[in-house]
Structure 1
Amino acid sequence: MLEINKELEDYILNHTEEEDQILKNLSRETHVKMLRPRMLSGHLQGKFLKMICQMMNPKRVLEIGTYTGYSAISMAKGTSDDCEIHTIDHNDELEYFTRKFIKQANCENKIKFHIGDALEIIPTLDEKFDMVFIDADKRQYIEYFEAIFPKLKQGGFILADDVLWDGKVIDHVDPNDRQTQGILAFNEYIQKDDRVENLMLPIRHGLMMIRKK
């Protein structure tokens, strides 16, 4: 597999449509004001999510792990006006910052922002989803998957982020590293699940595409 170094990454970004100005501002402020800004989806992944939405034209989308809203806004910009995107984050300290950018992106009517535990909120959502994006606590990926699976339409897609986890999935893993252990368990769980078909992509920190049969 081709190793993506900084020079090649710059070449890829230079040959991808320019980042939306609102998203560029969001990325800049996240890096200046927030802890762990690497959690931000970023331009390449955001553009991928937007174009997946443009191809699928989903009417109901669920995101687990909002952070500062980059991925939610990216997906909103790739969907039609009658789409609803439910996005969930446990960190209420990010709410003001995130809502500010959702408003600036004119996505208030499309993005439904929930604060709390995703595993408690998901059962309350009376929806059938066309697409789900998981980018939250790696230790709970299997639990998220099982919670949303009954609410995913047949033929619908789940996109799970960070499935390569900076290459840690092929390193010796400390048994106390519960995040990496969670990713490894999830990857094996999906690989053995005959209810789905799956494809792992080396985009950013790894992205698993999962289709419900």
Structure 2
Amino acid sequence: MNFLPDNINKYVVDHSQKEPELLLQLNKETWQKVLNPRMLSGAFQGRILSMISKLIQPNNILEIGTYTGYSALCLAEGMKKNGLLYTIDKNEELEDFAKKYFNKSNYQNQIKQFVGNALDIIPTLNEKFDLVFIDADKSNYGNYFNLIIDKMNPGGVILSDNVLWSGKVVEEINPKDIDTKALIKYNKLLNSDDRIETVLLPIRDGLTISRVK
């Protein structure tokens, strides 16, 4: 979802860096072959992820929610020469799809792909992270944050996607809507935890940038 008028959104996209050819192919194949292709970060947000990563120049990146691998490849663009990106997704059916594009990229030896429950996998990772991207099941955002906060290097950045949830976070909540309730609670957590400083950007479906103090 975009919160800008269509003409302004088009102008923004037209005057931003274009996605690399490999990501263009990945984008196209995702829309052709995968269910719920709207889950893809997409060209504009992908360039934002790439830019943030390039500004940080992380050694270690953690991504929670691989999907088809688009956002992982965007984040990998900013890694240091010997950096590593750890990406986790519970959908084993998409593992080979993402791996195919990882292997076509310049980062095939720098991406470690995990399939399973991130709540179980994250505690097994002993690395400290400079950049984390959370884009998985919304009801567990708070749990993911609690697992990663002590694994962050000072000055590290946590990116959280879909935090506006199609605007539902400011609407009357359906009592059965677990995801919206979880995101409202999560957004309050990010804005009140004194270990981080946070800004929420109305980019696409909402992207929060939290910097660890």
Secondary structure in structure 1 of the residue aligned to 2:127: coil
Kept in 1: contact 2:54–2:78 (CA 8 A):
yes
Kept in 2: contact 1:81–1:110 (CA 8 A):
no
Counterpart in the other structure of 2:18: 18
Equivalent position amino acid for 2:41 in 1: S
Distance in 1 (CA, whole Å) between partners of 2:24 and 2:5 is 22
Structure 1 residue 128, shift from structure 2 partner: 0.5
Distance in 2 (CA, whole Å) between partners of 1:27 and 1:7 is 22
Equivalent position amino acid for 2:198 in 1: N
Counterpart in the other structure of 1:212: 212
Structure 1 residue runs without a partner (length 5+): none
Kept in 1: contact 2:72–2:87 (CA 8 A):
yes
Secondary structure in structure 2 of the residue aligned to 1:136: coil
* Count of equivalent residues: 212
Counterpart in the other structure of 2:197: 197
Structure 1 residue 173, shift from structure 2 partner: 1.3
Equivalent position amino acid for 1:134 in 2: I
Kept in 2: contact 1:68–1:98 (CA 8 A):
yes
Distance in 1 (CA, whole Å) between partners of 2:80 and 2:10 is 31
Per mean C-alpha deviation after superposition, the further-off stretch among 35-44 and 8-17 is 8-17
Structure 2 residue runs without a partner (length 5+): none
Q: With structure 2 as the length reference, what TM-score do the two structures score?
A: 0.96
Structure 1 residue 189, shift from structure 2 partner: 1.4
Equivalent position amino acid for 1:15 in 2: H
Q: Alignment RMSD, CA only?
A: 1.2
Counterpart in the other structure of 2:120: 120
Structure 1 residue 3, shift from structure 2 partner: 4.7
Counterpart in the other structure of 1:159: 159
Cα distance change, pair 144–111 in 1 and its aligned pair in 2 (3 A): same
Per mean C-alpha deviation after superposition, the further-off stretch among 188-197 and 37-46 is 188-197
1:48 equivalenced with 2:48 (yes/no) = yes
Counterpart in the other structure of 1:175: 175
Report runs of 4+ in structure 1 exceeding 3 Å deviation: none
Counterpart in the other structure of 2:5: 5
For residues 31-70 of structure 1, the aligned pairs below 5 Å read 31-70=31-70
Counterpart in the other structure of 2:74: 74
Q: With structure 1 as the length reference, what TM-score do the two structures score?
A: 0.96
Deviations 1:1-35 (A, max 9, x none): x9512222221111111211111111111111111
Kept in 2: contact 1:50–1:74 (CA 8 A):
yes
Kept in 2: contact 1:61–1:129 (CA 8 A):
yes
Counterpart in the other structure of 1:92: 92
Structure 1 residue 59, shift from structure 2 partner: 0.2
